[in-house]
Amino acid sequence: MEPDKPEKYRFDDLDRRLVALLMRDGRAPVAKLADILNVSRSTVQNRLDRMLQSGALLGFTARVREDYEDGQINAMMMIKISGKSTTQVIANLRRLPELRRVHTTSGKWDLVAEIRVQTLAEFDRTLREVRQINNIETSETSILLTSV
């Protein structure tokens, strides 16, 4: 381990419960979280501070319901890579802002990419750009219609 690199933060049960509460309500007051977790307010604040400082907790975000984002197209693209070029392919995929996340997987597909665009023209262009990346053998894309 590098001398100035902090040790990886290890979540305990209280941390996991705290993060689960924050994922449901990222704006919950520290006092309310402490009450739910049956610990002191300072315990919750110290845990949050340590998780943020260590980088284990990246921050707090607002999530928008999918049906509030009219006209948005969401899709999942499964990608098969030829050879041992996964790192190179991932680096090229990360350059495409339309790909919100890229996941490595086990099974038939090497990667799964989450796509979010505003128009079918952007969707078509994004598919073409992905398919032009060297060492992508094949892909299969499904547009997400309704979340249930």
- Note the pTM of the prediction, 2 decimals: 0.57
Q: What is the pLDDT of residues 46-55, one digit of tens each?
A: 999 999 988 8
Rounded distance between C-alpha atoms, residue 50 and residue 9, angstroms: 8
Is residue 21 within 8 A of residue 31, CB to CB? The reply is no
Choice between 111 and 85, residue whose per-residue pLDDT is larger: 111
Rounded distance between C-alpha atoms, residue 113 and residue 71, angstroms: 20
Q: What is the pLDDT of residues 18-46, one digit of tens each?
A: 988 888 888 889 999 999 999 999 999 99
